[in-house]
Structure 1
Amino acid sequence: MKRDLKRKTKIALEPRKQPRQERSSKVVDRILDAALILTREQGTGTPTTLAIAQRAGLSVGSVYQYYPNKEAILLDLARRWLGAFPKVIEKRIRVPRPTTRDAFRQEVRELFIDTSRLYLENANLMPVIEAITGNPDLRPIQNEYDEQIIALYAAWLRHVNPALQEDIANRLGIVMMEVGHVCRLVGLKKDRKTFDLLEDDVETMWIALVTPYLDLN
């Protein structure tokens, strides 16, 4: 059973109100876009609520109508980052099933191109992601996305080989997600060259791991 967020933590980090109208949604988008731009510009520093408001062209009071603090803004950004991965994996399930090893390698390459872009363009959000992972009150937020991503990896593998058993596909999905995420985090903390080399290594490991289960020519 998933552990619920402690009430005080949840209240402190949840958006104050959810946008119900298009105008409100645009305001939230402006806040989040401004926060993302500032996190990229400031490197390891985190932007203040005032700086976010100024970059978004809003008053601080307008920002506080939607978010109680800057941590809640960054957490909402992290949610959006995590929520981008299922869409990327779903693309691979919608394309025709690869039937050869070369075709599958190309599918993996395209997936890595798409997911790596998400990591590289949002590198300054990684401390937020790691904070979520290390905080027992916040970890359930990431767990929900992790379970969804594992299920999608498993569905992708079964798309390639419909005869693959579900429990095996899920096990492989866990390894694919965990190894890929951890290695990319390490690469981001080093430099771009290290990131690219680690990514190539992970891609090689993925293919070696799953190919025996896929019945490819």
Structure 2
Amino acid sequence: MNRDLKRKTRIALEPRKQPRQERSSKVVDRILDAALILTREQGTKTPTTLAIAQRAGLSVGSVYQYYPNKEAILLDLARRWLGAFPEVIAKRIEAPRPTDRDAFRREVRELFIDTSRLYLDNASLMPVIEAITGNAELRPIQNEYDERIIALYAAWLQHVNPALKDEVAGRLGVLMMEVGHVCRLVGLKRDRKAFDLIQDDVEIMWLALVTPYLDLD
């Protein structure tokens, strides 16, 4: 995706219409699922709108009713990927509060397992994510999700230690989100072994960073 996209291009990448009925939502899901499968199969090669339509069992005209081009489909896929993280993190807040370091380590390990699966299963979308990050017109799309993720990390830390101040929890949330995301992107660009090693290092860094603030036995 071109990093020099202008405002008119951003508008051109927006879905043509939002599904308001269950039937329309199912069509959009079919389009996005087909696009995701093709991006995983083709790696760095961007699937064509025709290929997406064929995989979804739809006509090209049906796809164009919802998306103006293949880039808009990939952008919507990126939104769906970003939107998966808040739910995964929220699960940790809903879990019983860990009261010792070992229990908290297990919580962190479960979170890394869940979130790493999102990265590994959607590795082919990372160029789209990076393009959003590097483009001033599209960056607000990711900022919106980043702020939600940071707030959830902060809430999780305060779930573990209710006495933790908002300012401290928010600062730690920023570091957890930024370091985790950037390091995993680096790992994805190498190979699975590198990704796993980098992930283990990030987990160690997270624990070293936040444990002193959590008042755990």
Shorter-chain TM-score: what band? over 0.9
Where does structure 2 lack aligned partners over 5 or more consecutive residues?
none
Residue number in structure 2 paired with 1:215: 215
The answer to whether residue 139 in structure 2 is matched with residue 139 in structure 1 is yes
Summarize deviations over 1:39-73 as a string: whole Å, max 9, x none. Answer: 00001111010110111111111000000000000
Residue number in structure 1 paired with 2:178: 178
1:22: Cα distance to partner? 1.0
Q: After the TM superposition, which segments of 4 or more aligned residues of structure 1 sit over 2 Å from their partners?
A: none
Residue number in structure 1 paired with 2:84: 84
- The two structures have a TM-score, normalised by structure 1, of 0.97
SS of equivalent residue, structure 2 residue 65:
helix
Where does structure 1 lack aligned partners over 5 or more consecutive residues?
none
Number of residue pairs aligned between Structure 1 and Structure 2: 213
Residue number in structure 2 paired with 1:99: 99
SS of equivalent residue, structure 2 residue 189:
helix
Summarize deviations over 1:155-187 as a string: whole Å, max 9, x none. Answer: 000000000000000000000000000010000
Which amino acid in 2 is paired with 1:98?
P
Contact 2:7 2:137 in 1 (8 A): no
Residue number in structure 1 paired with 2:15: 15
Distance 2:11 2:170 in 1: 34
1:6: Cα distance to partner? 6.5
SS of equivalent residue, structure 1 residue 190:
coil
User: After superposition, where does 1:23-62 map in structure 2 within 5 Å?
Assistant: 23-62=23-62
Residue number in structure 2 paired with 1:130: 130
Distance 1:149 1:176 in 2: 10
Which amino acid in 2 is paired with 1:197?
L
Which amino acid in 2 is paired with 1:188?
L
Which amino acid in 2 is paired with 1:167?
E
Residue number in structure 2 paired with 1:67: 67
Distance 1:99 1:6 in 2: 50
1:10: Cα distance to partner? 3.3
Distance 1:6 1:140 in 2: 14
Residue number in structure 2 paired with 1:196: 196
Q: Note the aligned Cα RMSD (angstroms).
A: 1.0
Contact 1:133 1:139 in 2 (8 A): yes
Contact 1:9 1:137 in 2 (8 A): no
Percent of aligned pairs with the same amino acid: 87
Distance 1:7 1:182 in 2: 27
